[in-house]
Chains A and B, each alone.
Chain A
Amino acid sequence: MNSAAEAGSPIADARSLRRRLIGLIAVGEVGVLAAMALLIAFFWLLEPAFLSERNIRAILNVVSFVGIIAIGQTILLVAGEFDLSVGSVAGLSAVVAAKLMTAAALPVSVGILGGIGVGALIGLLNGLIVVRLGIPAFIQTLGMLFIGQGLIQVVTGGYPVYPLPEAVNTIGGTDLAFGLGWSFAFFIVAAIAADFVLRRTVLGRNMYATGGNKEVAHLVGINTNAYKIGAFITVGALSAVAGMFVMADLGSGGTSIGSGWELTVIAGVVVGGVSLFGGAGTVAGGVVGILMLKVVQSGLVVIGVNSNWQQIAVGVIMVMAVGLDIVRRRYFIAGA
Chain B
Amino acid sequence: MSNASPQKLLSATAIAKNFGGVQALRGVDFDVVAGEIHALLGQNGAGKSTLVKILNGVHPAGSYTGTIMLDGQPVSFASPADARSHGVGYVPQEIEVLEQLSVAENVFAGRTGLGDGVLVRQRRLEQRAGEIFADLGIDINPRAYVASLTSAQRHLVMIARAIVMKPRVLMLDEPTASLSGTEVDALFAVLRRLKAQGVAMIYITHRLPEVLAICDRATVLRDGQVAVRIAREDFDAETFIFSMSGQRLQRLFPEHAAPVGAPTALEVRHLTVAGHSGAVHGARDINLSVAAGEIVGLAGLLGSGRSEILHGIYGRVHAEGEIRVAERPIAVRSPSDARAAGIALLTEDRKRDGLLFNLPVGANITIGNLGPLSRNGVVRSGVEKSSILAAMRALNVKASSPQASVTHLSGGNQQKLLFARVLMRAPTVLLLDEPTKGVDAATRHEIYRLVVELAEKGVGLLIVASELEELIGLCDRCLVVADGRIVDEFGRGEGGEDRVLRSVTAAQAERQAMASRVSS
By a beta-carbon cutoff of 8 Å, the part of chain A in contact with chain B is 1-3, 6, 19, 23, 200-203, 205-206, 208-209, 211-213, 215-223, 275, 278-280, 332-336
Give A218 to B382 CA distance when docked, in angstroms.
Answer: 26
| CB-based nearest B residue for A199 | B379
Cross-interface CB contact of B377 among A201, A209, A213, A333, cutoff 8 Å: A201
| CB-based nearest B residue for A23 | B403
Interface size class of B (residues with CB under 8 A): 35 or more
Q: Which residues of B contact A202 (CB under 8 A)?
A: 370-371, 374, 377-379
Q: Which residues of B contact A275 (CB under 8 A)?
A: 358
Q: Is the CB of B358 within 8 A of A3?
A: no
Q: Which residues of A contact B336 (CB under 8 A)?
A: 221-223
Q: Is the CB of A216 within 8 A of B354?
A: yes
Give A190 to B389 CA distance when docked, in angstroms.
Answer: 33
Cross-interface CB contact of B400 among A3, A217, A333, cutoff 8 Å: A3
Cross-interface CB contact of A222 among B354, B363, B368, cutoff 8 Å: B368
**A208 touching B358 in the complex, CB below 8 Å, given contacts A2-B400, A334-B405:** yes
Most buried by A among B345, B351, B377, B381: B377
Q: Is the CB of B367 within 8 A of A209?
A: yes
A143 CB to nearest chain B CB (Å): 24
Most buried by B among A23, A279, A335: A335
13 more A-B residue pairs beyond the given contacts A209-B356, A209-B359, A333-B358, with a C-beta to C-beta distance below 8 A: A205-B363, A205-B379, A209-B368, A213-B355, A213-B356, A216-B367, A217-B356, A218-B334, A219-B353, A221-B334, A222-B368, A278-B358, A279-B359
B279 CB to nearest chain A CB (Å): 19
Whether B347 is near chain A, meaning CB under 8 Å from some CB there, is yes
| CB-based nearest B residue for A278 | B358
B419 CB to nearest chain A CB (Å): 14
Whether B401 is near chain A, meaning CB under 8 Å from some CB there, is yes
Q: Which residues of A contact B401 (CB under 8 A)?
A: 2-3
| CB-based nearest A residue for B400 | A3
Closest 7 CB pairs of A and B: A220-B368, A335-B357, A279-B358, A221-B336, A212-B358, A212-B356, A202-B370
B506 CB to nearest chain A CB (Å): 35
Give A121 to B322 CA distance when docked, in angstroms.
Answer: 39
B375-433 interface with A by 8 A CB criterion: 377-379, 381, 389, 392-393, 398-401, 403, 405, 407, 421
A315 CB to nearest chain B CB (Å): 27
Q: Is the CB of A220 within 8 A of B407?
A: no
Give A3 to B378 CA distance when docked, in angstroms.
Answer: 26
Whether B259 is near chain A, meaning CB under 8 Å from some CB there, is no
Q: Which residues of A contact B335 (CB under 8 A)?
A: 218-221
Q: Which residues of A contact B398 (CB under 8 A)?
A: 2
Most buried by A among B316, B340, B353: B353
Most buried by A among B352, B356, B371: B356
Q: How many A-B residue pairs have CB under 8 A?
A: 107
| CB-based nearest B residue for A203 | B377
Cross-interface CB contact of A334 among B352, B389, B407, cutoff 8 Å: B407
Q: Which residues of A contact B374 (CB under 8 A)?
A: 201-202
B509 CB to nearest chain A CB (Å): 37
Give A210 to B72 CA distance when docked, in angstroms.
Answer: 54
Q: Which residues of A contact B358 (CB under 8 A)?
A: 208, 211-213, 275, 278-280, 333, 335
Give A334 to B404 CA distance when docked, in angstroms.
Answer: 12
Q: Is the CB of B355 within 8 A of A216?
A: yes
Whether B168 is near chain A, meaning CB under 8 Å from some CB there, is no
B149 CB to nearest chain A CB (Å): 22
| CB-based nearest B residue for A1 | B393
B380 CB to nearest chain A CB (Å): 9
Whether B339 is near chain A, meaning CB under 8 Å from some CB there, is yes
A303 CB to nearest chain B CB (Å): 39
Q: Is the CB of B407 within 8 A of A335?
A: yes
| CB-based nearest A residue for B336 | A221
Cross-interface CB contact of B357 among A1, A3, A203, A336, cutoff 8 Å: A336
Give A333 to B392 CA distance when docked, in angstroms.
Answer: 20
**A2 touching B399 in the complex, CB below 8 Å, given contacts A205-B367, A333-B405:** yes
Q: Is the CB of A201 within 8 A of B379?
A: yes
Give A205 to B358 CA distance when docked, in angstroms.
Answer: 11
Q: Is the CB of A279 within 8 A of B405?
A: no
Give A211 to B368 CA distance when docked, in angstroms.
Answer: 14
Q: Which residues of B contact A201 (CB under 8 A)?
A: 374, 377-379
Give A218 to B368 CA distance when docked, in angstroms.
Answer: 9
Cross-interface CB contact of B389 among A1, A205, A212, A333, cutoff 8 Å: A1
Q: Is the CB of B352 within 8 A of A279?
A: no
Cross-interface CB contact of A212 among B357, B366, B370, B405, cutoff 8 Å: B357
Most buried by B among A3, A205, A209, A219: A219
A334 CB to nearest chain B CB (Å): 5
Give A6 to B126 CA distance when docked, in angstroms.
Answer: 64
- Interface CB pairs A-B, < 8 A, 10: A23-B403, A201-B378, A205-B367, A208-B363, A218-B334, A219-B314, A220-B335, A221-B340, A335-B351, A336-B351
Q: Which residues of B contact A213 (CB under 8 A)?
A: 353, 355-358
Q: Is the CB of B421 within 8 A of A220?
A: yes
A80 CB to nearest chain B CB (Å): 10
Q: Is the CB of B405 within 8 A of A332?
A: yes
Q: Is the CB of A215 within 8 A of B356?
A: no
Q: Is the CB of A219 within 8 A of B347?
A: yes
| CB-based nearest A residue for B401 | A3
Q: Is the CB of B377 within 8 A of A215?
A: no
Q: Is the CB of B379 within 8 A of A212?
A: no
Give A280 to B357 CA distance when docked, in angstroms.
Answer: 10
Give A238 to B42 CA distance when docked, in angstroms.
Answer: 60
